[in-house]
Chain A
């Protein structure tokens, strides 16, 4: 199918329709903005990943050797050498800054904007059969607001960094000498970007659906992005006001959070987690959406429990607003509040389990294709389930008293965020790679990459559950020697994971080379949702005319996988 005659009948893709830097910087095309988000988030993923590698390298030895050596080396490189003692003395702060950079960049610049910004922007209008999102100019604005927020973060890095952790807890954040205001302003601005994206997606889902695209005919990815958008719109304003109050507190000392001025530091935690707990669902719900697509398309079976999966996303979005107190079991909150929050936290497990069981039931008797997107889909089922269930441990009050602030929390969070969202995101990138770029990656290389990521990830984080249970506290730069074996294992895992991710980036970029430019089938997986019913990469206005929908996107025809599927089933 990759012959010249067919090539000439194809319309120019959205890449070819316009050229020049202005066609990117001022584009109103959701697909171009999706690509721009993809590139930006991946650059920051690299930055945050490198800081994680530095952290893990430091933790190879219990007494702190690597960062002092690095600090000394850097100091002499810049022409003002320091003594070994001085280097050792400042390395604790360096460690704090590194984990803050890792956490804040991953949360605010990578995970929150990654799936909605990149895949959501690219796919949402395509999946709904629309020409664009409801407000294309707002979409462009929200990308540039994202870059302004990112600049504030970069400024923070060059202004000496930030050592509060990504949570900016008071009173430390109002008293530390590091660049709190620029970092919180950055997060404040990024919040606006997130709100505007969420608002845009909500209106798009409500108003831009093609004729016949009823709510229950929408792909589950759209449902997930919709639920995410609702949380973004309702929770992020509270973050905005929290950070604003924190900035004012630091600047003018109004005394609302600072106990020395008569304020209440726990109030900050309430404010912060009222946003940041829903925010972890902003991060994971899009991953659920991708997972539904991966599992259904690559096992070629109608998704099990469509309505249950769709509505459980909405249920998670709603419950997410009333569980924030489980971050504060040991902050002096009342026992009654603790019990209520603990119970509500367990309730989240219900809609989440509905999803997991539905995915497993979808696989049952499906024609499972073990290609790369499916491998990531299965990996997600494995790692996310571990992450989700250990979340129930932490939601139990008595257990949390023992486990809070240990590596158990670190492992849990990475199993849901990395093992959940990022794994799903990488799977999604593979699934829609040919849709976005018109190229196909090398399948063998991709499988090697998936294996490296899987081994690396589990080696890094699994034994952190054990370490945390044994009492290894998080955020420490030195530790007692009994944990060295386990830290060594974690660090080796982190290196394998880094190699796996670099390898993945490498073969994906390699697939973009000129020699690979043969026309791929528009629909390599035989997907039935609307995004597969147009050219890959799509034309500028997505579809020729407005598509009409008469069935749901998981009605796979009973055919073999060798040929392309035609849309009329």
Chain B
């Protein structure tokens, strides 16, 4: 999708603000390339950080397969499923937003950013209800885990028997989804920042690096969830 193709598809009333060139760059291409490369390197660090958690998850699952299987029944597959759909849709609106920025379509960009932020908020609201639901049944991470309450809840919730050391599974559940949730909150922050700039008409075919980078970040947040959901909610 070079800018050449984009020119032909540009909507009526498209804007084309220039790229503000920082003092230490020689060309706009150098600046845009640096921003994009830097973002990809940053995404690599994100992947490696979460990979530590995934490794911890697999070790725990290898050590205590029955415990992981019985504990995961307490997670709400419906809510997790809804959140998966919500995040996937938000990734779609984000991608549409980046396209709108490339075409200089200010209205489309603002609309898609607002939608993305809205979906992110829906995700957090669902997550809030999930967490409080867990807390109300004594399912806290680690040493605060209440075996009696959680065990009783498991029995009435489909007649499951909690086995072994479920505090480890829920400890990991809260750490993994918690760290992911922090990333969603940060994502909302940077999306709002890009939205403010988009409203001022700062992005167009020649300058859309911040929109694209925030989009990349948002996709990685989505991607992490795509792995978290089956690993935690759909254990078989």
Which residues of B sit under 8 angstroms from A254, Cβ to Cβ?
141-142, 167-168, 171-172, 174-175
Which residues of A sit under 8 angstroms from B179, Cβ to Cβ?
244
Contact residue among B33, B56, B142 (Cβ-Cβ distance under 8 Å from A267): B56
B53 on the interface (CB 8 Å rule)? yes
Which residues of A sit under 8 angstroms from B48, Cβ to Cβ?
234-235, 237-238
- Known: A241-B52, A252-B143, A261-B165. Is A233-B175 also a contact (CB below 8 A)? no
- Known: A199-B45, A202-B41, A203-B37. Is A255-B165 also a contact (CB below 8 A)? yes
B27 to chain A, nearest CB (A): 10
Would A255 and B45 count as touching, CB distance under 8 A?
A: no
Interface centre among B24, B141, B174, B175 (most CB of A within 10 A): B24
Would A261 and B56 count as touching, CB distance under 8 A?
A: no
A97 on the interface (CB 8 Å rule)? no
Kindly state the separation between the CA atoms of A134 and B33 in the bound complex, as whole angstroms: 10
A546 to chain B, nearest CB (A): 6
Would B38 and A203 count as touching, CB distance under 8 A?
A: yes
- Known: A131-B23, A261-B142. Is A237-B37 also a contact (CB below 8 A)? no
Identify the closest chain A residue to B164 (Cβ): A262
Kindly state the separation between the CA atoms of A474 and B66 in the bound complex, as whole angstroms: 42
Kindly state the separation between the CA atoms of A237 and B24 in the bound complex, as whole angstroms: 29
A242 on the interface (CB 8 Å rule)? yes
Which residues of B sit under 8 angstroms from A477, Cβ to Cβ?
none
Within B16-59, the residues touching A (CB, 8 Å) are 22-24, 26, 30, 33-34, 37-38, 41-42, 44-46, 48-53, 55-56, 59
B233 to chain A, nearest CB (A): 19
Kindly state the separation between the CA atoms of A271 and B22 in the bound complex, as whole angstroms: 40
Contact residue among B42, B46, B56, B144 (Cβ-Cβ distance under 8 Å from A245): B56
B231 to chain A, nearest CB (A): 15
Which residues of B sit under 8 angstroms from A499, Cβ to Cβ?
none
- Known: A131-B24, A203-B41. Is A267-B59 also a contact (CB below 8 A)? yes
Q: List 19 A-B contacts (CB under 8 A).
A: A199-B42, A203-B41, A207-B30, A208-B24, A233-B44, A237-B48, A241-B50, A241-B52, A244-B179, A245-B53, A245-B56, A248-B142, A252-B171, A253-B144, A254-B171, A254-B174, A261-B143, A267-B59, A271-B56
Contacts A132-B23, A233-B45, A255-B168 known; 8 new A-B pairs at CB < 8 A: A131-B24, A132-B24, A236-B45, A253-B143, A254-B141, A256-B168, A271-B52, A541-B24
- Known: A206-B37, A208-B30, A256-B172. Is A241-B49 also a contact (CB below 8 A)? yes
Which residues of A sit under 8 angstroms from B168, Cβ to Cβ?
254-256, 261-263
Contact residue among A135, A200, A207, A271 (Cβ-Cβ distance under 8 Å from B33): A207
B8 on the interface (CB 8 Å rule)? no
A494 on the interface (CB 8 Å rule)? no
B124 on the interface (CB 8 Å rule)? no
Q: How large is the interface on A (under 10, 10 to 19, 20 to 34, 35 or more residues)?
A: 35 or more
Chain A residues within CB distance 8 Å of chain B = 130-136, 195, 199-200, 202-203, 206-208, 233-238, 240-242, 244-245, 248-249, 252-256, 261-264, 267, 271, 541, 546
Which residues of A sit under 8 angstroms from B140, Cβ to Cβ?
252
Interface size for B (C-beta < 8 A) is 40
A250 to chain B, nearest CB (A): 10
Would A261 and B167 count as touching, CB distance under 8 A?
A: yes
Kindly state the separation between the CA atoms of A208 and B30 in the bound complex, as whole angstroms: 8
Which residues of B sit under 8 angstroms from A130, Cβ to Cβ?
24
Would A255 and B34 count as touching, CB distance under 8 A?
A: no
Identify the closest chain A residue to B175 (Cβ): A248
Which residues of B sit under 8 angstroms from A238, Cβ to Cβ?
48-49, 51-52
Would A208 and B34 count as touching, CB distance under 8 A?
A: yes
- Known: A131-B23, A256-B56. Is A233-B142 also a contact (CB below 8 A)? no
Which residues of B sit under 8 angstroms from A233, Cβ to Cβ?
41, 44-45
Identify the closest chain B residue to A274 (Cβ): B52
Kindly state the separation between the CA atoms of A267 and B53 in the bound complex, as whole angstroms: 12
Kindly state the separation between the CA atoms of A546 and B179 in the bound complex, as whole angstroms: 44
Would A199 and B175 count as touching, CB distance under 8 A?
A: no
A222 to chain B, nearest CB (A): 17
Would B38 and A134 count as touching, CB distance under 8 A?
A: yes
Would A237 and B38 count as touching, CB distance under 8 A?
A: no
Identify the closest chain B residue to A262 (Cβ): B165
B147 on the interface (CB 8 Å rule)? no
Identify the closest chain B residue to A132 (Cβ): B24
Which residues of B sit under 8 angstroms from A253, Cβ to Cβ?
142-144, 167, 171
B1 on the interface (CB 8 Å rule)? no
Which residues of A sit under 8 angstroms from B175, Cβ to Cβ?
244-245, 248, 254
- Known: A135-B34, A206-B37, A262-B64. Is A255-B52 also a contact (CB below 8 A)? no
Which residues of A sit under 8 angstroms from B148, Cβ to Cβ?
none
Identify the closest chain B residue to A137 (Cβ): B22
B161 on the interface (CB 8 Å rule)? no
Contact residue among A131, A133, A134, A237 (Cβ-Cβ distance under 8 Å from B45): A237
Kindly state the separation between the CA atoms of A130 and B31 in the bound complex, as whole angstroms: 13
Which residues of A sit under 8 angstroms from B53, Cβ to Cβ?
241, 245
Q: Please encode chain B, from 51 to 88, with 1 for each CB lying within 8 Å of some chain A CB and 0 for all others.
A: 11101100110011000000000000000000000000
Interface centre among A208, A249, A254, A263 (most CB of B within 10 A): A254
Which residues of A sit under 8 angstroms from B45, Cβ to Cβ?
195, 199, 233-234, 236-237
